[in-house]
Structure 1
């Protein structure tokens, strides 16, 4: 491990070998209350805003007290990068979050650790790599154009477009398509049960993660029973995908050697005893791919649309770029054109800086270590800020403004000046988000389609958009009207 996260064997005799100048008790932090500490200050769906406010107040590393146990928050980019890099050996997911996710049947590679994680990660990454995404690209384009047709018809009839709902439905169509090989057309199914169940799971996951007491383990309310039902129904839907895919692979045996999607690859692995990939691993990771692929990308696009509608100059620049690239085509159909959207990429980076859908990652230390010159005992809970120094005025002047131009350079900046090294929207290290390439491709296809075909009109009468943290952070609404361009 490097100097920011040093950790020898977790042995009391080795503590003196670590070099540090302070302990957790020496760190600054907000004043708490007797017995509870800071517990009552960190609940609710805007926890990320509270933690960000304290970063500005107490600096890049501070501590909280949760019922007598320390919690360390880190935003220094060097320390954050090192912490993420040292997963899964040096640091793991927090046990509390892993337990809560497991209670809602959300398992697989996202909660696995050690050798179990390595086994699952390899297969999941293979199912979402660049080649797979490129091969899926025509289907993604078809699904996006299907949504464009729906929107054009709605606008022509004077009907409002529910951007938040439709973006989630398209994300679900795409992830089920690339991962499961099925087209469920959730975009045109206004009451799609799978989408409703996934939304229900995320709401309950966020509420339980922010809860002060795990009451549902002793008394389940109607919302908890509904979440349990949703978890079962999502799993049943995935099992049906698996059953249909197994039947297809029996009819087309060549798919065992050359699987066409992630589910086929996982089935082939689970059928091979030497892979150690079980049917349970298969179901869990297939379920995870469906659940995890819907919320993150849809929220990222929703935030970008919100920000563009509030910044007409940026919207105009992006529209000019999409017009130049797409010409007479309604959306991008040629894979090679995906390289020609620098301003769109910059707008995405700026969106993640201001409205990261995963602003914090919870970790637990596997051994005694040193983080930012601070001694961290084994089993200490740590929260790292994926926005790093993104809201630091010294690093990003006018940091509250949406300025995609800050990500565009005539020459590649020096390492210390490179803004991409100051934030971590997809995590980092070996546990970098496996769906990163798929998400970036989908964002380019969908946002370029929107800006090329529509004008964005902000609904000035709508209430302010709130940042709501469930498991991921999304907008409370997308109060933007689409107007067909002429």
Structure 2
């Protein structure tokens, strides 16, 4: 979902024009950064305690290109939109994803499009892309609406604080089960919600260590159970589908993957199908559920924006469930989702990249094996690109808004590795949000402080979010 007419800070534009060709830095020099001490591992500990807060402090102190010396690595943190786009788009071929991050994710995702590199990644991405185009995802809108209608009918509006984060997570689980497996939520899926949380917390913690203890260690029992549960869920759906006659297979994502397997079993083994199912299952429900959770808070904290989005929904839908052809007309609602993704991107820090050769960026020449980190969450709350950056202002994304710096808004990443499921996620969030506003008004309990974000692979409230719902008259 791209803003049509972005905003650019005039002062920054003048500075950029005056220094469009930065003076080259001496060979072998590095940008400024925090003192590393003997090993730099203290910097790593600081990031493990508060990643975004720590990176923001270093950005304020040292600028948009910050060098971290964490032995044996050299890491560079980029928060300049132009340099970020140069890195992720123009320099893409000279990068690989951070090996340790991929290793941790591959424990559960296997060798999916999320973790693959080089030609294997290109082949998978090309094969999967047709299932995730804007036109392709329209076929899933009826399933999304059916799951939403069923779930929302059971949400209580009795004056007590409703566990809205848990409710959106369950709904996201139901939606991904329907779109992937043509299955509805059941007791196993409820257990999967907790399992996803367990593996996310465990995976985030392991990212900060150079190696992981084996999963058979006694203190990793909860992670073992969670991974066994999730793998079992995927395996049951694949096995059940294969037992059906081919002409009875529904037109869901699992069928599309199994057709790839039948057409080219060497390139698409059953294990490859399982790996892609796992990635789609985890990413497909988590991103949408996290964003809708934050969106509900933004609606509760901004009644005028909530009322404007609801008025549009009422005018466009007139009480019926949304269809695919309705989604382009819900422009005001979409802007509230865009602004939510700006303030609370599900992935506030993109998985770090490593250069395979020397890379020139902004006057610096970085040697091979340099690590690059892009904290999207900081860029999207930078006053240079977004005035009043902490304010919820959906009008930033209106057609008649000012121009926005390219690269400052990247909730789904950028370049060839932009999130493959972004169109499905946006369609899902728009349908769910519209149907929610048809049925409820949402408010924060009196005296409630804004929820504190916490980063465990995705960005979630530190304490489970609970809000007040008032059911609208039919």
Same fold flag (TM > 0.5): yes
1:228 equivalent in structure 2: 224
1:141 and 2:145 matched: yes
Distance change >3 Å, CA 271–CA 335, structure 1 → 2 = closer
Pairing partner for 1:94 from 94, 98, 102? 98
SS in 1 for 2:36: coil
Aligned residue runs from structure 1 range 298-377, under 5 A: 298-329=289-320, 332-361=321-350, 362-377=352-367
Distance 1:62 1:301 in 2: 33
In 2: Cα distance, 1:106 partner to 1:207 partner: 19
TM-aligned CA distance change 1:169 to 1:340, over 3 Å: same
SS of alignment partner, residue 113 of structure 2 = helix
- Give TM-score, length-normalised by structure 2: 0.87
Preserved contact between residue 132 and residue 261 of structure 1 (Cα < 8 Å): no
- Give the structure 2 partner of residue 39 of structure 1: 44
The answer (yes or no) to whether the contact 2:169–2:285 under 8 Å persists in 1 is: yes
1:179-226: CA deviation from partner (whole Å, max 9, x where unpaired): 22322x25xx598122221221112112222x446452498353x222
The counterpart of 2:432, out of the listed 409, 434, 446, is: 446
- The reply on whether 1:198 has 2:184 as its aligned counterpart is no
Tell me, which stretches of 5 or more residues in structure 2 are unaligned?
Answer: 1-22
Q: What does residue range 224-263 of structure 1 map to in structure 2 within 5 Å?
A: 224-248=220-244, 250-252=245-247, 260-263=251-254
Match of 1:484 in 2: 471
Counterpart CA distance in 2 for 1:284 and 1:201 is: 16
Range with bigger deviation, 471-480 or 441-450: 471-480
5+ long unaligned stretches in structure 1: 1-18
For the pair 1:474 / 2:460, whether they are aligned, the reply is yes
Q: 1:50-81 CA deviation, whole Å, 9 max, x = no partner?
A: 21332233221111121352110011111211
Q: In the alignment, is residue 427 of structure 1 matched against residue 419 of structure 2?
A: no
Q: 1:453 to 1:32 in 2, by over 3 A?
A: same
Tell me the distance in 1 between the aligned counterparts of 2:125 and 2:436. Answer: 34
Partners in 1 of 2:411 and 2:110 — Cα distance?
A: 21
2:6 maps to which residue?
none
> Residues 116 and 100 of structure 1: is their aligned pair in 2 closer, same or farther, counting only changes over 3 Å?
same
Q: Deviations over 1:68-127 (max 9, x none)?
A: 521100111112112222575321110010111123455411000011101211233233
Superposition RMSD in Å: 2.5
SS of the residue corresponding to residue 400 of structure 1 reads: coil
1:122 aligned partner: 126
CA distance 1:378–1:109, change in 2 (3 Å): same
Contact 2:182 2:252 in 1 (8 A): yes
2:258 maps to 267
Of 405, 410, 422, 1:436 maps to 422
CA distance in 2, matches of 1:82, 1:74: 11
3-state SS of paired residue (2:66): strand
Q: What CA distance in whole angstroms lies between the structure 2 residues aligned with 1:323 and 1:419?
A: 34
Indicate the SS of the match to 1:468: strand
- Higher relative CO (Cα under 8 Å, sequence separation at least 6) belongs to 2
SS in 2 for 1:136: helix
Count of equivalent residues: 448
